[in-house]
């Protein structure tokens, strides 16, 4: 195992202590050692399951990114899926009556203890009427796309820890329902803008794991020809503008796209993803105000995961209900349980109907929670333990899987087939991405417009 590139500069990293000693068994993903960088103290996970045979960097020593620090004896884990049929799901599209797993009635700002004082408790979990009719195959497709995003991000995490993948990453584990619920409610020719945390948006909009992984490895076969990297993924042919790393930068762009659609008398709409931190940017006011004045067909999608980088929303906003801001501009806003994929889907579908009917923009605030740091260099010390436990209990994949097993007769073996199929797809994409051709010097001047 090589030391991951966890520092924000080229400075050395101090390896503080090991949690396991040579000769001990370790599991892939378990905390293996602790480091101190120029930014924070954080724990680093094991990249392998096996025996820790050798430690090459002792405790309280300085190490550099890329330096070999440990050697493992790997244990064979087997495929673990030999009894699972990898064939696609062929469930008959029999309609079932299904109500959304939950919906938001209100958002509560916690008061009391030091840990809970600035904590938003989040939405209730009880399903609400009225019941809605869904195709069983549609529900399974929602679940599979969320699994694809989760497994993609988990694999990318370990590729980064292994030192295999260049650059930094900003991941979205825990926010799968926001991306899938929104994008599945759009038409194929609708457009989205994204952020530096855009892997989930891209997969939900229809980009393939292969073109994304090729991009993350810097290959010319990537969705942006290796020039965008993790923070700028997208595909114009699939209706996704490459991610914009400037906080709030996609908001005026989405308004401009919606203006073009309106001038062209096109039924298309734009959906704009941004985080709660972007609401404090001038671009939010300018873009939202313009969309309101001109009655533009754009859905502003705020993925409110409670933190702008490491700052809790309650420390920057007196009114922490983001959707309330829509009223100030003269259009509709709605707060939705962002960990409930059906609630997100229904809210987006109604917003799209409003936009296509000429009723102007809609602001959707999707309450969610990221299970990782702001970036892979962020250990998340600012998230209170009880807050994390609360939101982790509302994991969008687990909740939806439990709901389907209770309401749509989806078996655990069928869900296992979904995961096995996704894992096989990602394994093959990683293999090809590692072998994909890199750009040449002649590619420096291609696709340069200014």
What 8-state DSSP symbol labels residue 231?
G
Name the more confident of 118 and 11.
11
Residues 68 and 164 in one domain: no
User: What is the domain count for the chain?
Assistant: 2
User: Does some domain include residue 450?
Assistant: no
Q: What is the residue whose two structure tokens read 């680093």? A: 44
pLDDT at 10: 65
pLDDT at 448: 83
pTM: 0.84
Residues 52 and 134 in one domain: no
Residues 64 and 168 in one domain: no
Residues 429 and 333 in one domain: yes
Residues 44 and 104 in one domain: no
User: Does some domain include residue 197?
Assistant: yes
Q: What is the residue whose two structure tokens read 């992984």? A: 213
Residues 362 and 422 in one domain: yes
Instruction: Give residue 381's pLDDT band: very low, low, confident or very high (50, 70, 90).
Output: confident
User: Does some domain include residue 2?
Assistant: no
User: Does some domain include residue 378?
Assistant: yes
What would the two tokens of residue 105 be? 């009635």
User: Does some domain include residue 442?
Assistant: no
How many helices (H) and strands (E) would you count in the chain? 11, 16
- Average pLDDT of the chain, as a whole number: 87
What residues form DSSP beta bridges with 15? Answer: 35, 61
DSSP per position, 346-402? HHHHHHHHHHHTT---EEEEEE---SS-SSTT---TTS-HHHHHHHHTT-HHHHHHH
Residues 230 and 356 in one domain: yes
Residues 253 and 325 in one domain: yes
CATH number at residue 48: 2.40.50.100
Sign of CA dihedral 400, 404, 407, 413: negative
**Which range in 30-44, 362-376, 424-438 is most confidently predicted, on average pLDDT?**
424-438
CB 113 within 8 A of CB 387: no
CATH number at residue 199: 3.40.50.970
User: Does some domain include residue 199?
Assistant: yes
| Residues 22-42 as b or e (16 or more Cβ within 10 Å = b) | eeeebebeeebbbbebeebeb
Give the residue numbers spanning the domain of 51. Answer: 13-74
Flag whether pLDDT at 83 surpasses 80.
no
């Amino acid at each position: 195992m090589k030391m991951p590139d966890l520092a924000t500069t080229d400075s050395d990293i101090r390896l503080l202590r090991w949690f396991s000693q040579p000769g001990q068994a370790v599991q892939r993903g378990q905390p293996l050692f602790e480091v101190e960088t120029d930014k924070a103290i954080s724990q680093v996970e094991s990249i392998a399951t096996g025996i820790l045979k050798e430690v090459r960097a002792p405790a309280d020593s300085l190490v550099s990114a890329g330096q070999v620090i440990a050697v493992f004896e790997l244990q064979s884990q087997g495929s673990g899926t030999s009894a699972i049929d990898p064939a696609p799901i062929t469930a008959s599209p029999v309609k079932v009556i299904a109500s959304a797993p939950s919906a938001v009635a209100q958002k509560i700002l916690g008061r009391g203890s030091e840990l809970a004082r600035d904590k938003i408790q989040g939405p209730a979990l009880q399903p609400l009427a009225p019941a809605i009719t869904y195709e069983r195959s549609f529900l399974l497709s929602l679940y599979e796309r969320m699994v694809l995003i989760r497994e993609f991000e988990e694999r990318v995490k370990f590729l980064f820890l292994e030192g295999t993948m260049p650059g930094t990453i900003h991941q979205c584990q825990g926010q799968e329902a926001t991306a899938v619920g929104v994008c599945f409610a759009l038409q194929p020719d609708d457009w989205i803008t994204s952020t530096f945390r855009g892997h989930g948006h891209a997969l939900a909009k229809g980009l393939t794991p292969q073109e994304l992984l090729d991009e993350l490895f810097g290959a010319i076969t990537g969705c942006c020809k290796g020039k965008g990297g993790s923070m700028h993924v997208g595909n114009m042919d699939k209706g996704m503008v490459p991610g914009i790393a400037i906080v709030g930068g996609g908001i005026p762009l989405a308004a401009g796209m919606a203006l073009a659609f309106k001038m062209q008398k096109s039924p298309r709409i734009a959906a704009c993803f941004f985080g709660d931190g972007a609401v404090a940017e001038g671009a939010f006011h300018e873009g939202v105000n313009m969309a309101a004045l001109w009655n533009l067909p754009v859905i502003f999608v705020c993925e409110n995961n409670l933190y702008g980088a490491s700052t809790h929303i309650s420390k920057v906003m007196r009114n922490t209900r983001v959707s309330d801001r829509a009223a100030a501009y003269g259009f509709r806003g709605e707060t939705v349980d962002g960990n409930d994929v059906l609630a997100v889907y229904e809210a987006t579908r109604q917003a799209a109907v409003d936009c296509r009917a000429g009723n102007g923009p809609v602001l959707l605030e999707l309450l969610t929670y990221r299970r990782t740091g702001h970036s892979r260099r962020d250990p998340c010390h600012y998230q209170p333990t009880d807050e994390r436990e609360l939101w982790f209990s509302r994991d969008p994949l687990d909740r939806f899987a439990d709901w389907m097993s209770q309401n749509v007769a989806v078996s655990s073996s069928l869900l296992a087939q979904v995961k096995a199929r996704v894992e096989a797809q990602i394994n093959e994409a990683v293999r090809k991405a590692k072998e994909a051709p890199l750009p040449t010097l002649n590619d420096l001047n291609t696709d340069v417009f200014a």
